[in-house]
Structure formats: structure tokens, C-alpha cells
Amino acid sequence: MTAAALWLIGSGAVLAVLLTLYLIVQLNAVRNEQVINAAITVMCTAIGREPAPQRALLRAVADTLVAQDRAVARIETTVHELALRRSQSPELPLPLPEDLIKELLDLPEPQALVTDFLGRHGGPSTGTAFFAIGADVLETAIAEVFADLAQERSVELERMLDIGADGAIASVALAGLDVQPLAGLPPFRAPRVADLDRRAMAAVVLTLDKATRQQLRLATLLHGQAEALLRIHPGKQRVLARIRGHLHQVLRLPLVRRLKFSRDDLAALVVAFDVIGEVIDAATEQLANGEPARAIQLLAELVMPVPSGLPGRIFHQESLAHARPTASFGVWHRLAVARWLASSMAAITEGLAASHWFGDPSSSPPDHGGCDPELALGAKRT
């Protein structure tokens, strides 16, 4: 074989290798850009869409908990005003406790939100099992709030547990208004949602915060890659597009850099990312100020533009996993408020509440603003 033949064979082999490498690079580039295109498109669409069902459930539970705290603050103010008026006019008629707590009990029940979600998305055949989940959460709260009944009045505790078997908080709370109050005088401050276990609520906030930050980092990375695709010099882009067009006619390859997003889409994502960062910082501040329920609400209200696939599924699973533990705080809270209200109204009727809470009505009342939250009725000491 002559040298010329060997040179031709070698040149052909080199060209074949180069062509193969070119095809591999082009196919990988097309595949990567398809992934980026799909991810950016999904994230841009997610900004204006309704949240995923898992996120909507967590948002509904968090909104309910914050609404409970607001309703209880109004109940507390009304009770304190009644105590002062009753101390000045002992014959002043008192409203029924059922009327005072009505606003709180009219709010959506958090455990019902969870069981309704599970029954709606889990199939009707397993609805009974999902109903038992809500009833179990209520039973645990009854045992915690009415723990003193187990010592001497176990029959009353059994009655409360029987009423709670249907999984409705309202019926148990109304029945709790007629139960004999706790010994001693009630605390000045009504229970708040976070009074059961602040550490547990803080753990929920921190977990949601971590999941949100991880998704934000992933979205920022994809956004940076998308920006890199748009940074090609317009002149070079025209030349490369012309060359790829000729190759496309020969090799029938899909053209690279057929982007489905624009600079305006990326700019909108930048604004969304900045808002998410601000909300995360605000949630951190709420947690530091002792308001974990508001922190959960802020993180649940976020519209996170997550890409499709595994990252988005994990983020939504994290949201759903924290809906039921968060709802359990609201269940306990309503029963604890009912117990506090019953004890407070009994103390007002006996004329003991004003002197206990405010001291001598003729003197200036002490500052109760720094009342220890762990003194709230039924709260655990953590």
C-alpha cells in the first residue's frame, strides 16, 4: 500500500472521528438546552399559576393558625374589659362564653383541611382512614388540654374523648366550656398557637426555610445558564446560525439555541427571586421575634417557581409533610382557649379576675406585656 493511500485512509479516519465528536457535542448541546428551555419555561409559567395542591394546603393551614391568634387576641381584650366593668358594677350581666368564642370556632378547622385534602386526592375508598387521622390529632389535644380531668374526674375526660370521636373541634370546645375550670386563677394572657411547643414550631419554620433556599439556589443556577445562552454576540450568532443551517440541511440535526424564553422572561424571574429572598428574611425575623406561626405563613405564601421533575416533587413533598404537624398546633390551641375562657369567666363571675389581673382597680395596673408565654393554660415547659 502506497503512502498516498495510507494518507487518504488516515485523513478519512481523522475526519470520521472529528465528525463523530461534532455530532456528540451537538447532541449534548441540544439535550442540555432542551432541559434549560423546559425548566425556564415551567418556572416562568409557575409565577402566574395557582399553587400546587400541597402548597395550597400548607398555606390554608398557616392562614388559619394566624387567624386563630388574631381572634384570640380579640377574645382576650373582651374578657379583660368585662373583668374591669364587672369589678365596678358587680350586677353587670355577662355574655355567654359560647358567644365570645364563636369567631374562633367559625374558622376552618385545621385538621379538617388536612383530612379533606387527603380524601380528595387519595381516593374515596380510603376516606375513613383519613378521617381517623383527624380524630387522632383531636384526641391527642384533648388528652393534653384536659389532662387534669384524668386524676379525679376521669368520667368527664371520657365524655370529652367521646365527643371528639367525630373529629370536630367545635363540639369539644363548647363542651369544654361547661367542664369544671382548673384550680386556681387563670393567667392574664390567653394561649397562643406557639405556646404548646415553640421549639417544634421553630423546627417547622427552619425546615421550610431550608427547602425554600435549596429551590432558590437551583432556580438561580438554571437562570444563570439561561442567561449564558442569551449572551452570544449577535454577529457571531448570525454566522453560527448560517453554518448550522447548512449542516442542518446535510445532517438533519435540530438547530441549537432555539430558545423558548426571552430576556423579559429572565428579568421577571429575577424580580421573583428577589421577592423570595426578602420573604425568607422576613420569616427569619418573625421567628426571632417569637412569632413562628407568622413565619410559617410567610413561607407558605411564597410562589416558588420550581422546575418540573424531581426537584419540584421534593419541594412539594416537604410542604405536604409539614401540613399535618402544623395543623396539630391549631387543634390544641382552640381547646386551650376554650379552657382559658371558661376559667376566666368563672373568675369574673366570682369577682376575682380584676384583682388578680390588674390589682387594686383604683391604682394603676401593672405592666403585663412581658407575661411569660409558658404560663398560658395547658402549655408545655420546653
pLDDT at 363: 37
Give mean pLDDT, residues 309-328.
88
pLDDT at 29: 64
More confident residue, 333 or 362: 333
DSSP class of 193: G
Q: Tell whether 48 is covered by a domain.
A: yes
DSSP class of 145: H
Residue 235 pLDDT grade (very low, low, confident, very high; cuts 50, 70, 90): very low
pLDDT at 18: 79
pLDDT at 30: 66
Residue 172, C-alpha cell as written in the block: 369539644
Indicate the range of 64-73, 244-253, 279-288 predicted with least confidence: 244-253
Residue 378 pLDDT grade (very low, low, confident, very high; cuts 50, 70, 90): very low
Give mean pLDDT, residues 303-311.
78
Q: Tell whether 321 is covered by a domain.
A: yes
Residue 97 pLDDT grade (very low, low, confident, very high; cuts 50, 70, 90): very high
Q: Within 13 A of 329's CA, how many CA atoms are on the CB side?
A: 30
Q: Tell whether 148 is covered by a domain.
A: no
Reduced to 3 states, what is the DSSP secondary structure of residue 179?
Answer: coil
Q: Tell whether 169 is covered by a domain.
A: no
- Total number of domains constituting the chain: 1
Q: Tell whether 141 is covered by a domain.
A: no
More confident residue, 150 or 382: 150
Range of the domain at 240: 1-124+185-382
Give mean pLDDT, residues 296-323.
86
Q: From residue 357, how far is each of 147, 188, 363, 367 by CA, in Å? A: 25, 6, 12, 10
The yes-or-no verdict on residue 303 having pLDDT over 80 is: yes
Residue 123 pLDDT grade (very low, low, confident, very high; cuts 50, 70, 90): low
- Give which of 106, 85, 103 is closest to 94, Cα–Cα: 85
Cα–Cα distance between 336 and 308 in angstroms, integer? 42
pLDDT tens digit string along 173-220? 999 998 888 778 889 999 999 998 999 999 999 999 999 998 888 888
The yes-or-no verdict on residue 233 having pLDDT over 60 is: no
Residue 220, C-alpha cell as written in the block: 438561580
Q: Maximum Cα–Cα distance for the chain, whole Å?
A: 124
The segment with the largest mean pLDDT, out of 3-7, 25-29, 163-167, is 163-167
Give mean pLDDT, residues 304-322.
84
Q: Tell whether 237 is covered by a domain.
A: yes
Q: Do 357 and 173 touch, CB atoms closer than 8 A?
A: no
Q: Is 9 exposed, middle or buried (0-12, 13-18, 19+ CB in 10 A)?
A: exposed
Residue 21 pLDDT grade (very low, low, confident, very high; cuts 50, 70, 90): confident
The yes-or-no verdict on residue 298 having pLDDT over 90 is: yes
Q: Tell whether 174 is covered by a domain.
A: no
Residue 57, C-alpha cell as written in the block: 394546603
